Chain A
C-alpha cells in the first residue's frame, strides 16, 4: 500500500468545470510534488512545494492552480481544462527538496477531459 494517498482515483470533467485533486501523506515529508504523466511516457514535473511554500512552477498553464494547506496535504485546482490535459496526475513527497532521499508517489488520479 502506498503511503501517499490521492483522491479521486478517476475524474471525468467538461472543459468548463472546476474540480480539485487531493493528495495526503503522513510520512513527515516536507517536500511535495505534482507530476503529469501521459500514456507510455515518464512523469513530467509540474509543481514543487517546500515547507508549504511553492518552490518550483515548471511553466504550467494557469488553469492548473496548486495549493498546500498544511505539511500533509496538497491540492491541485483545475479550471477550464483542455482535452490535451487528460492524463494521470501523480502526487509525490520526499524528506526535503535538498535531500537525496527518494520521492514516494501516490497511485494518481486518472483525469479525462470531455
Chain B
C-alpha cells in the first residue's frame, strides 16, 4: 500500500536554529513528490516538486532533497514567519490516476 509518513509531527525552533523535516514514502513508480506550506485557515501553498532521486530545489531559506525512499525539507536560519504546517505529498504511477497521497504534516513553530 502506498504511504507517506512525515516526522516529526511538531517542531519548535528558535529563530536562526536550522533543522530538517522528513517525508518517508513507499510508492511504486513515483511520478512526483510535492512540498506544500499551509498556514492556519488557508489552503496549501505549493513550494517544490521533486521528480527523481538526487534532485534538489531551493527557495529562500528552504531546500528540498529527494532520495529513493525519502525527502527532506531543510530550513536554514528560520524566521518566525516560517511557522506553518508543511505537507508532503506523492503522486504514483500514471495508472494509479491523479490522486495525491498526503502525509499528516509537520507543524513548525519558530520563536524569536
A binding-site residues for B, Cβ under 8 Å: 2, 4, 6, 31, 33, 41-43, 45, 48, 50, 55-56, 88, 90, 92, 94, 97-98, 100-108, 110
Contacts and interface: CB of A to CB of B under 8 A. Distances in A.
A107 B43 contact: yes
B42 A94 contact: no
B8 interface: no
A105 B98 contact: no
Interface of B: 31-32, 34, 36, 41-46, 49, 51, 87, 89, 91, 94, 97-100, 102-105
B103 A42 contact: yes
B102 A43 contact: yes
A43 B105 CA distance: 10
Contacts of A4: 43
B34 A102 contact: yes
Contacts of A92: 43
Contacts of A33: 98
Contacts of A105: 36, 43-46
A108 B43 CA distance: 6
A108 B42 CA distance: 7
A112 B36 CA distance: 25
Nearest to A109: B43
Given A42-B104, A42-B105, A100-B51, A94 B32 contact: no
Contact of A43 (B31, B44, B51, B91): B44
A88 B44 CA distance: 12
A101 B48 CA distance: 10
Contact of A100 (B36, B91, B102): B91
The 7 closest A-B pairs by CB, nearest first: A42-B102, A105-B43, A97-B98, A100-B32, A100-B31, A107-B43, A105-B44
A1 B91 CA distance: 25
Nearest to A9: B41
B43 A90 contact: yes
Given A97-B98, A104-B46, A108-B43, 17 more contacts: A4-B43, A31-B98, A33-B98, A42-B102, A42-B103, A42-B104, A42-B105, A45-B99, A48-B97, A48-B98, A50-B98, A55-B98, A90-B44, A98-B94, A101-B32, A105-B45, A107-B43
